[in-house]
Amino acid sequence: MPFPSKQTSQAPLSRVLFIVLLIISIIVTTLYVREGSNGALHALQTNVQSLFAPIGSLGARAGAVADSAGEAIDNATADDATVAELREQIAQLTEALVEAEEYRLENERLRETIGLIDMYDIEGVIGEVIGRSSDAWNQTVTLSVGSDAGVKTGLTVMGGAGVIGQVVSVTPQTSVVRLLTDPQSGAAALIQSNRAEGIVRGSLDGLLYLENVEADVVVNVGDVVLTSGLGGSYVRGLLIGEVVRVDGQVGSATRRIIVSPNGRANLMEEAVVVFDATTGNAILRDNSNGDGGSAGNGSDQNDGNGQPSSGNGADGGEGSNTGEGGGE
Amino acid sequence: MGNRNDLLETIVGAVIVVVLQIVVAPYIAMGPAVPDFIVGYVVAVCLARSTPAPILAFVLGMIDGLLGQGPLGAMAFLLLLAAFFVTRVYLAFNNDTLFMPLVFIGVAVLLIEVCYGLLMVGTSVSASVGDALIYRALPCALYDFVVSAITYVIALRIYGRPERSPHLTQLR
């Protein structure tokens, strides 16, 4: 049964155009898939995203402004003039209060970030999140710092609580960070308490899975997971998260270990691109010696900041059996 | 493209849709589902105008690829196919009710999202096909369907109800 065509006179031209465009799109897709991440099409994609990232960040601001505007409109439409004026003043004051609250929260976040920088003795640069991925298949954020600030592809990125991802592309002014929760992400990790190594991977369901951990290793809920630095893709010794669930028994090859992610894209506003983290390396070095005293040192270093210290303290006793695991 | 007004309206609509995709889409995600205004718009416009609009599908598909991080050109390819088949099938089975276009929109966006998901699993995303369908393709298709249905109703107002094919009565 032939399909009917509305414009039969233009049909052959339209079909030729259709076929040509189809072929072009196949060629472009093939080139994109075959070229490396440094290829021309990838670069074009990065540049376009970088160009539109500031526009994208308007979305978040627009949402806040729309809320305030809606409230202001409600007030402005009151019948009585005096009441309207007073309401307008209230609206302005509310807006000012909201703005002040925004500054307070930003201040709090920055303090948290700076605290993290101090804790790990991080050498890096803080960037504002100015864009988010507009497609469902990639969990990325765009930061306001790029190669001009020393950011390079492959650098580790930390949020307020720990590692959130890795820089995957850079322009002079911006950088794109693939979050750990993205299914294309993977970070070499180790469990702080028993030095067992594995790989933390993102998934489509939004959870982080710790994989490739040896079946006989005991993993408990609450165990702290750190970057191991193996493969050089992530700076070692940084907090990835905590084990929140273990499905399956010790010895089972199908055991699933779920780690809590450190941040969600829709809540992130700032992040630190890590050039180097001295303390993180020191923690791992100390622990890998299998020396309780050394672990204690690591613990001392962190106690003041209240983060992964307890895990280190606990490691002291287990240091001996982690000498093997931590000897990387 | 049809007459000049249609062309202008389609271009203005396309610009609005691209802006919405950049500014709004990331912030109205519901769980794993991020709406694709571009997919919704192309399908809706093709149905409302009863013409495949290959240039619109190709250009917007390429823009969609440039804005996201999936394989460039893949969405253009899928939109071209969808635009072509959806208009052909619609012309054959349109019965002047709102139900049929909505069915075609639903099927088209579902197929686009499923095919795109399979492509992502095949090229970059390390996940099972089942996960890709459950956690991304289906929720996104549902979201796209809502966007596309709304766009279709608006497009009908702008372009007017499409004429039925002269062949239609012969076919049924």
Residue B85 clears pLDDT 70, i.e. is over it: yes
Q: What are phi and psi of A186, to 5 degrees?
A: -160, 135
Residue A319 clears pLDDT 90, i.e. is over it: no
Distance in Å, alpha carbon of A294 to nearest chain B alpha carbon: 39
Please check whether residue A16 touches B, CB under 8 A. no
For residue B89 the two structure tokens come to 């099938």
Tens digit of pLDDT for each residue in A81-136?
777 778 788 878 877 777 777 777 776 766 666 666 666 667 788 888 888 888 88
Q: Classify residue B169 as exposed, middle or buried by CB count within 10 Å of its CB (0-12, 13-18, 19+).
A: exposed
B99 vs A95: which has the higher pLDDT: B99
Residue A301: which pLDDT band, with cuts at 50, 70 and 90? very low
Please check whether residue A140 touches B, CB under 8 A. yes
Q: Which CATH number fits domain B4-163: 2.60.40, 1.20.120, 1.10.3470, 1.10.1760?
A: 1.10.1760
Please check whether residue A13 touches B, CB under 8 A. no
pLDDT of the residue at A314: 33
Number of residues assigned to chain B: 172
**B residues 141-160 near A, CB within 8 Å?**
none
B10 vs A54: which has the higher pLDDT: B10
**Beta-carbon separation of B69 and A52 below 8 A:** no
pLDDT of the residue at A27: 95
Q: Classify residue A252 as exposed, middle or buried by CB count within 10 Å of its CB (0-12, 13-18, 19+).
A: exposed
Q: Where are the domains of chain B?
A: 4-163
In single-letter form, the type of residue at position B161 comes to R
pLDDT, average across residues A288-292: 43
Give Cα A113 distance to the centre of its chain. Answer: 14
Q: Which residue of A has its CA nearest to B168?
A: A4
Tens digit of pLDDT for each residue in A219-244?
888 888 988 888 777 888 888 888 98
Least confident residue range of A111-120, A284-293, B99-108: A284-293
Expressed in angstroms, the distance from the first to the final Cα of chain A is 68
d(CA B74, CA B123): 11
Interface residue of A22, A57, A137 to substitute, partner B, most B CBs within 10 Å: A137
Tens digit of pLDDT for each residue in A53-74?
777 777 666 655 655 665 566 5
Residue B102: which pLDDT band, with cuts at 50, 70 and 90? very high
- DSSP state letters, B95-124: -SSSHHHHHHHHHHHHHHHHHHHHHHHHHT
- DSSP state letters, A76-144: HT-SSHHHHHHHHHHHHHHHHHHHHHHHHHHHHHHHHHHHHHHHHTEEEEEEEEEEE-SSTT--EEEES
Give Cα B20 distance to the centre of its chain. Answer: 15
Give me the interface pTM, i.e. the ipTM.
Answer: 0.86
A156, β-bridge pairs:
A166, A274
Half-sphere exposure of B167 (CA within 13 A, CB side): 15
Q: Where are the domains of chain A?
A: 39-328
Residue B38: which pLDDT band, with cuts at 50, 70 and 90? very high
Q: Which residue of A has its CA nearest to B129?
A: A204
Q: What is the dihedral of CA A244, A246, A250, A253, to 10 degrees?
A: -130
Interface residue of B1, B17, B21, B23 to substitute, partner A, most A CBs within 10 Å: B23
What is this structure's pTM?
0.72
Residue A247 clears pLDDT 80, i.e. is over it: yes
pLDDT of the residue at A24: 95
Share of chain A above pLDDT 90, in %: 9
Share of chain B above pLDDT 90, in %: 51
Are A172 and A178 a contacting pair, CB within 8 Å? no
Residue B20: which pLDDT band, with cuts at 50, 70 and 90? very high
Which sign, positive or negative, has the C-alpha torsion A293, A285, A236, A220?
negative
